[in-house]
Structure 1
Amino acid sequence: MSHAFAPGDIVRTRGREWVNLPAPREGWLALRPLSGSEADRVLLKPELELQPVEPARFDLPADAQVTSQTNAVLLADALRLTLRRGAGPFRSAAQIAFEPRVYQLVPLLMALRLPVPRLLIADDVGIGKTIEAGLILRELFDRGELDSFSVLCPPHLVEQWTGELSSRFGLEAVAVTASTAPRLERGLPVAQTLFDVHPFTVVSLDYIKAEQRRDRFARACPKMVVVDEAHACVGTHEGRQQRFRLLSELARDPERALLMLTATPHSGDEDAFARLLSLIDPGFASLQFDDLRYRERLARHYVQRRRIDLTSADWAEERAFPKHKTTEFPYRLSAKHLAFQEAVLDYCFGVVSRAGSGERERRLAFWGTLALMRCVGSSPAAALSALRNRMAGEAERLEPQIYDEDGEDEDAVDVEPAAAMAADAPLAALIQMASQLLGEPDPKVEALTGLLKPIIREGANPVIFCRFISTAEHVRDALRRAFPKVRVEAVTGLLTPDERRDRVADMAEAEQRILVATDCLSEGINLQKLFDTVVHYDLSWNPTRHQQREGRVDRFGQPAPEVRSVLMFSPDSAIDGAVLDVILRKAEAIRKATGVTVPLPDERGPVTDALMAAMMLRRGTTKQLALDLQLTDGAAAMERRWRDAQENERRSRARFAQNAMKPQEVAPEWARARDLLGGPDAALAFVEAAMKRFDAPLEPRKAVLLTHVHALDPHLRERLAERGLTGSLRLATADPAPAGASLLTRTHPLTATLAEALVEGALDSASLPGLGLGRVGAWPTAAVTRKTTLLLLRLRLKLTVHARRERLLLAEEAALLAVSDGKVVASGPEARTLLASPANHDLAEVARARFLRTAHAELPGLLDGPVRQHAAQRAEELLADHARLRAASGTAPRLSVEAVLPPDVIGLFVLLPAGA
């Protein structure tokens, strides 16, 4: 006889009992053993089983092992921490491996209130946009609303995304890049794509944007797409146009959810911003910001917070971010280095004066001057490389390199530029001067060493950002000589993205470390766990690049209470002074006024003119060049553009600041989920108690707890080794965790393994000898004045989402009920307080057995009465939780919730008045 099993039903097959879970396809059963974990799930076809799959019950055995009051508390806590199918209001709370900040839940609530989530998340650098997107993906997956997704991102971010999705959210995505795609596609049928086979993918935008791949991806693309660095998908570059065509094609499907992430959504380019908004809804392309209804519509899809918005006023999230201390560090040039810079300037001004009156010739001469001076100001090694490049006569792509633009070729970000200057005797003389300087003491390196010595003594771990490869190598070698006891490494564009990541990761083993990096690391690899100081050895000529550099270290998850950034420059250098005056000081003034770093104005002609004018004024050479009027006009135009940028930023913030949700609306919802499942505090209390029970107590160390898993029972050691836990572990009790430590949460492998093993040992003592906690007990306590029965239950609730495709979900929660005189007198935390109240003394064995027999006999009546009522009440509360989160969506699907009865009785404990 065949049976139709519903989610939550208990069945017996293969010699054991299982819980029936929602199956991925009809005719199959997804089963999890009653005494096992989610990792033990199996998928089977009943018709193919040797023995029939039969309905079963989970009853409390009459001969259940007796336990003590202390072990009863440990079992109750373990049960709560084993559950991975959270009831609500956030189902994902049971699965994530960190504790999100309340502000990071705002995009999630916004997504839940949209029938098809389409959001532009434009929070500042370092606030946690990846976390916000991951929360949405995990929650929708756990609600059964998505079964696949693709993250589209620049190639250098692919590995970061796959790592974050795995470590924080338990979502195992495959990387799809030019190097991995052929392997993933090998052996697939012609009609099948890798996106059909792999439901979770992180895709390189540069790989997928090509026309032949774009069309195929659009056909196989999942219904949920995340786009990181979305601002790089709009613009005039051919690559950006290709990306925009791809996203436009994906956005045409009205059922496709779209999350776009960027820290620079506007950047003063109204057309690019309009194209970005058009991906959410074509109607947003008109930019009708003066229309209140337009702004109200847009506010449902757009969230933008500055850090200052979160660390002050309502959110008060100061502890989520480190304090940031910014200082400047001027240094003097030696006579020889100053003479070299002057000689190069004289040579360049001569080239400019001979360039003629043609706009193109003069512009090329200006670019050549600025490019060469960047290298001269960086290091003699960079200057020598640039001077030799100039003799090769290359002139392409100078302007983007000068202004540190994000070009199409990420690997060329730190290569010394080249320009068309004819080889002549003066140029050869400059090359000789640069070669001689390589053997001289470098005043810039000496200044850096002097800067680092005191902060290294204080324990700092700095990142030194250089502009060019040759400079980075020059600095690395010098610092290795100056700090022989500190691990010093360099990461430049000469390494592949994987090699860069590995080199940084390898530094974690060092007690103290210095990383010298070019801007190939200013995006892509987060450095906050290993480094706490940023030194701008070379000034960037794009203010947002400074922000990106600092954002690798100064971001959510930085364990140090303070992050330092130091700006090095020489007041003797004409080029340093010009860049500070024309670009960086102006951008800093805007940042202080608006709280935001704005990029350079898009039109670079005035910037170039203003820089040339500033250099000439510093040397008193403008009259010689007869360019006074043009350069003065350029400087004035640059001033106007900075004022426009500041005003645009003010207007943008006034229009789009996210004030729709307040902490008091968001925080209680997350707290409700944590109360049901057990948050970090509950995980810590449980692990402390469990490790103490196994005679391996946690040892407090500076900022961490040390635990020795090799001292545990062999059965536990074996289980922990399967999850990669061996030897001694360093555990952090608060986020962010220090380098080398892991945050102890309910999903940490140690917490999960201990909880699962203890529950399994209690339910089946033969499976884990010596680990059983026992399931029944009786003791007198001062906490009660009459006999009270405590029931530890595993309650299952069946959620049915009534939509075009009806979905069945299973939710589980641990319930602790205190029953006296046939009524529930306490539940939840109040009931746990009763259970945790110490026993006054042990009962005689005969008396304890009598009380337990009576409680066992009364159990069916309790299950049919007060327990049934409690289960029905929880079903109503869960329905209200889900309805409340979706309240703003007029098209939210209907939901029904039903308790699966009877619940599993995990423990039965009788509390007697102290005089009993």
Structure 2
Amino acid sequence: MTVNFSPGDLVRARGREWVALPSPQGGILALRPLSGSENDTVILDPELEILPVEPARFDLPADAATTVQAKAALLADAMRLTLRRGAGPFRSAAQLAFEPRTYQLVPLLMALRLQVPRLLIADDVGIGKTIEAGLILRELMDRGEAEAFSVLCPPHLVEQWVGELKARFGIEAVAVTSGTASRLERGLPLAQTLFDAYPFTVVSLDYIKAEKRREGFARACPDLVVVDEAHACVGTHKGRQQRFELLSGLARDPERRMILLTATPHSGDEEAFGRLLSLVEPSFTSMNFEDARYRERLARHFVQRRRIDLVSGDWDEDRAFPKHETTEFPYRLSPAHLEFHEAVLDYCLGIVSRAGTGQRERRLAFWGTLALMRCVGSSAAAALSSLRNRMSSESDRLEPQIYDEDGDDEDAVDIEPSTTFDADPALLALVKHVEELVGKPDPKLTALVDALTPLVKKGVNPVVFCRYLATAEHVRDGLRKAFPKLIVESVTGVLTPDERRDRVADMAPADEEKQVQRILVATDCLSEGINLQQLFDTVVHYDLSWNPTRHQQREGRVDRFGQPAELVRSIMMFSPDSAIDGAVLDVILRKAEEIRKATGVTVPLPDERGPVTDALMASVMLRRGAPRQLTLDLRLGDGVKVMEARWRDASENEKKSRARFAQNAMKPQEVAPEWEKVRTLLGSPADARLFIERAMARFGVPLEPRKSLLLAHVDELDAGLRERLKGNGLSGSVRLATSEPAPSGTALLTRTHPLTATLAEALMEASLDPESLSNLGIGRVGAWPTAAVQQMTRVALLRIRFKLTVHARKEQLLLAEEAALVAIQGGRIVATGEAAQELLNTPATADLASIARDRFIANAKEDLPGLLSGPIAKFVRSRANELMQDHARLRAAAGSASRVTVEAVLPPDVIGLFVLVPGEA
């Protein structure tokens, strides 16, 4: 006999009970164990089974073990925390290992309102774009709308993405890079691509952009793609052109969903911005921001929030970010160093005065001068390296190096530039001069030690950013001598991206209980990519960056979502004796700071560098007291005027940009209530903590509080539990954070934490299977007196299944589950949810005599069928209707045209049945 099963039906096959899931094809069953996850799903053909596949019921067994009040309450908590298929409108909530901020849900809602999600998420550095993209991926997966995805990112971000997806979202993705691709492909059938075999991938852009791989990837690429650092795919460099060709090829498929992430969408280059927007929608290339209809269309696909937008006004997200304290630290040059600075400047001004009036010759002289002066201002070691490298012929690379532009060659970011000056006696004299200086005390390094000493006493952990490799090594060695008790390491471009990540990770203490202070000296190879907020809380700009956004990127490694310190400091070092420091401060950094204070935004340098170079040279000359006639002859005054105009334009454009692109379509009150409902139903971090505290205490191993942490000594648990936890990577004393941000070496105690999940699953198994962990004593029925009730009350612990049908372009049927407690008096439900939970949690006032207890339980079991078909069935149907309304509200807030119908699967599973009698009974 053929039996047709619908999703949600209970099925008995292969000697156990299963839940039917949506079938992949007719005649085939997809089954999940009744107490298990989708990872345990089996696909079977009923015609091929030895024993027939039959309908099943989940009845409360006649011999269900009895339990006491404390363990009944523990079972109810475990039941709620084990569910991973929540029925609420945020399907992904049950899978998250963190608490997203309300503002981070906005891009998710924007994605849900689009038939084919195409988004450009351009939030500030440190706000959490990775989290926002991950929420979209997880939600689409849990809605059954995404079976595969690829994250495309620069190579140095691949491992970070893999780690974030696993730790925060429970997604096991594989890294696809030049070092891993051949290993992953080994053994695959000829007809199967790497992307067929591995549905979730994080792919190095530099690996996949090559022409020989690009076409193959375009054919095998999933229809859901995330692109990180998207601004690095639209420039004029050859590598960026290859990336753009790759992405534009993917974007040509109108059904492909694409999420682009960047903190710098508009760097002053209108053409590059237009190319970026074209990946979202081809018609956006023709930008007309004055057209209200254009802006309205764009606003559906483009979200840009600055931190200032989130810590003021409606969102009020001060708690999400630390306070930021910025200070300047001026220092004086020693006579010997000042003499060298002046000698170099005199030499350079002589070069400039002899450069003539030819545009190219003059520019090369300016660039060579500024490049050498940057190195001199950095350290004597960097100056010596630059002077020795003077014969390099790559003069055209000087300008982007001077202005700290992102180039294709990430490993060359901290190499000292050549000066391009011809060798002559004066230049050789400078080399000899700086060779003598290298061995003398360095006033800049001394100033750094003076700046750090009081902070180190306060327990801070600084990152010191240097511009050049030689400087970083010099500073590292100096700080090791000054602070011998601290861990002092350096990360520079001589290390591979993996080695950089390992170097930083190794600075975390092996013994988490030990307080270890650390100082990291880094070049700008670390200003993007590796997040440092767990180990460091202070940024020192040892060398001024000449690109204002670089300062923002440096500070953004530390001052970001997830920083556990309440205060982040940044210190900008400069010398008033240095003509080059003064010029950069006046022409670039102070102007950019004025705009930042006025608009809340750090603006990049104007795209045209000529006026910047002219203005810097004019400032240097005037500070050195060079003849004014030379400045006039070179028409450098024009550059100062042009730069002033450029900064004014930048300020006005930024104000307009914020008005155009501010995401004001959604308000917190449209998002927060629905998320709060989900947390209540599934269990918040506070609920998870309470469960773990009760469970560990019940097992005789109470949690040990340590300042803001909790220690769970899992090795002291029962052998069966200990073995399960060890299989999930937990042993010894597990450090648990009770609030975000979680300190280094800990994880936030949430419903998905391995300790929560393992204990909850073990308790559920122990209740459902008497032979599983029988010594835990977790039964499914019980009776006790309590002061919580005035008349006899029966509390049923239910597992309810719902069928969710999404009516959209492609209709989908999803299966969801919910845990529920209902309190019944005289055939009428008197409490549900938290009210019923409070009744169950109230301690028993005494023990009942076993004969009385058994009588109460037997009567409750006898009445159960009538309750299931009467008040409980009515409650379950009302829950289905409430859920349907919740889905409708969220989709209305997201502007989605699709709708969801919710059907309850009756009867619900009765996991537990407990009788509460008045305390005096």
TM-score when normalising by structure 1? 0.97
1:856 aligns with 2:870: no
Question: Does the aligned pair in 2 maintain the 1:765–1:771 contact within 8 Å?
Answer: no
Which residue among 537, 540, 564 is the counterpart of 1:559? Answer: 564
Match of 1:117 in 2: 117
Give the residue type in structure 1 aligned to 2:199: P
User: 2: distance between equivalents of 1:385 and 1:624?
Assistant: 33
Q: Residue type of the partner of 2:524?
A: D
CA distance in 2, matches of 1:222, 1:740: 35
1:558-615 Cα distance to aligned partner (Å, 9 max, x none): 0000000000111111111111111000000000000000011110011111111111
Amino acid at match of 1:879: M
Give 1:765 shift. Answer: 2.3
Report SS of the residue matched to 1:166: helix
Q: 1:344-388: CA deviations, max 9, x gaps?
A: 111111222222222111111111111111111111111111100
Match of 1:502?
Answer: 502
Matches within 5 A, 1:749-828: 749-803=754-808, 805-828=810-833
2: CA distance between counterparts of 1:147 and 1:654?
Answer: 37
Question: Which sections of structure 1, spanning at least 5 residues, go unmatched?
Answer: none
C-alpha contact (below 8 Å) 1:758/1:772 kept by paired residues? no
Output aligned runs, 1:231-380, within 5 Å.
Answer: 231-380=231-380
Contact kept, 8 Å, 2:671 with 2:890, in 1: the verdict is no
Contact 1:691 1:697 in 2 (8 A): yes
Paired position in structure 2 for 1:384:
384
What is the CA distance between 1:891 and its match in structure 2?
Answer: 6.6
Partner of 1:457: 457
* Cα distance in 2 for residues equivalent to 1:679 and 1:846: 39
- CA shift digits 1:252-288 (9 cap, x unpaired): 2222111111111122333322222222222323323
Q: Distance in 1 between matches of 2:55 and 2:356?
A: 93
- Find out whether 1:5 has 2:10 as its counterpart: no
The structure-2 alpha-carbon separation of the partners of 1:401 and 1:392, relative to structure 1 and needing over 3 Å to count, comes to: closer
Q: Is the 8 A contact 1:800 1:808 kept in 2?
A: yes
- Are 2:110 and 2:894, in contact at CA under 8 Å, matched by a contact in 1? no
Give the conservation status (yes or no) of the 8 Å contact 1:31–1:41: yes
Q: Which residue of 2 aligns with 1:411?
A: 411
Task: Say whether residues 1:714 and 2:715 are aligned partners.
Answer: no
The offset of 1:102, in angstroms, is: 0.7
Q: Is the 8 A contact 1:113 1:885 kept in 2?
A: no
- Where do residues 130-279 of structure 1 align in structure 2 (5 Å cutoff)? 130-279=130-279
- Change in Cα spacing, 1:39 to 1:185, as seen in structure 2 (3 Å) is closer
Match of 1:770, SS?
helix
Q: Distance in 2 between matches of 1:25 and 1:334?
A: 81
Which residue does 1:874 correspond to in 2?
879
Alignment correspondent of 2:919? 914
Superposed displacement of residue 74, structure 1: 0.7
Equivalent position amino acid for 1:740 in 2? G
1:69–1:779 contact (8 Å) kept in structure 2: yes
Residue identity in the other structure for 2:609 = R
Q: Provide the secondary structure at the position in 2 that maps to 1:338.
A: helix
Give the match for residue 97 of structure 1: 97
Please identify, of 45-54 and 568-577, the stretch whose mean Cα deviation from structure 2 is larger: 45-54
Cα deviation for residue 629 of structure 1 reads: 5.2
Q: Deviations over 1:41-78 (max 9, x none)?
A: 44444455443333222111112111111111111011
1:512 aligned partner, one-letter code: Q
The 8 Å contact of residues 120 and 260 in structure 1, kept in 2 or not, is answered as: yes
Aligned to 1:830: 835
Q: Name whichever of 359-368 and 834-843 sits farther off.
A: 834-843
Aligned position for 1:641: 646
Q: Is the 8 A contact 1:613 1:622 kept in 2?
A: no
Q: Match of 2:663?
A: 658
Tell me the CA shift for residue 315 of structure 1: 1.0
**Percent of aligned pairs sharing the same letter:** 74
- Distance in 2 between the 1:826 and 1:683 partners? 23
CA contact (8 A) 1:97 1:168 kept: yes
Taking the aligned partners of 1:142 and 1:252, their CA distance within structure 2 comes to 26
Distance 2:48 2:620 in 1: 82
Cα distance, 1:696 vs. partner? 1.1
Shift of 1:289: 2.2
Give secondary structure in 1 for the equivalent of 2:484.
Answer: coil
SS class of match (1:886): helix
- Secondary structure of the structure 1 residue equivalent to 2:870: helix
Q: What's the TM-score once normalised by structure 2's chain length?
A: 0.97
In structure 2, C-alpha distance between the alignment counterparts of 1:305 and 1:852, rounded to whole Å: 58
Does 298-307 or 204-213 show the bigger shift? 204-213
What's the CA shift string for 1:674-727, capped at 9, x where partnerless?
A: 111001110011011111111111111121111211111111111111111110
Q: In the alignment, is the contact (CA less than 8 A) between 1:393 and 1:422 conserved in 2?
A: no
Q: Give the aligned partner of residue 676 of structure 2.
A: 671
SS in 2 for 1:507: coil
Cα distance in 1, alignment partners of residues 396 and 276 from structure 2: 30
The structural deviation recorded for 1:860 is 0.8
Query: Which amino acid is the alignment partner of residue 694 of structure 2?
Result: A
Note the residue ranges of structure 2 that are not aligned, 5 or more in a row: 511-515
Letter in 2 for 1:218: A
Q: Give the stretch that moved more between structures: 588-597 or 889-898.
A: 889-898
Give the corresponding residue for 1:20: 20
* Structure 1 residue 831 displacement after superposition: 0.8
More displaced 10-residue stretch of structure 1: 174-183 or 808-817:
174-183
Task: Give the structure 2 partner of residue 900 of structure 1.
Answer: 905
Letter in 2 for 1:521: L
- 8 Å Cα contact 1:463/1:515 also seen in 2: yes
- Give the match for residue 750 of structure 2: 745
| Partner Cα distance (2:858, 2:190) in 1 | 66
CA RMSD across the alignment: 1.7
Describe how 1:838-849 pairs up with structure 2 within 5 A: 838-849=843-854
Equivalent residue number for residue 616 of structure 1: 621
Structure-2 change in CA distance of 1:187 and 1:914 (3 Å): closer
CA distance in 1, matches of 2:253, 2:42: 35
Larger displacement relative to structure 2 (824-833 or 622-631): 622-631
Aligned AA (1:855) = A
User: Post-superposition shift, 1:556?
Assistant: 0.2
Name the aligned partner's letter for residue 87 of structure 2. Answer: A
For 2:813 and 2:561, the matched residues in 1 are separated by 36
Distance of aligned partners of 1:115 and 1:607 in 2 relative to their CA distance in 1, 3 Å threshold:
same
| Structure 1 partner of 2:731 | 726
The DSSP-based 3-state class of the residue aligned with 2:58 is coil
Query: Does the CA contact (< 8 Å) of 2:887 and 2:899 recur in 1?
Result: no
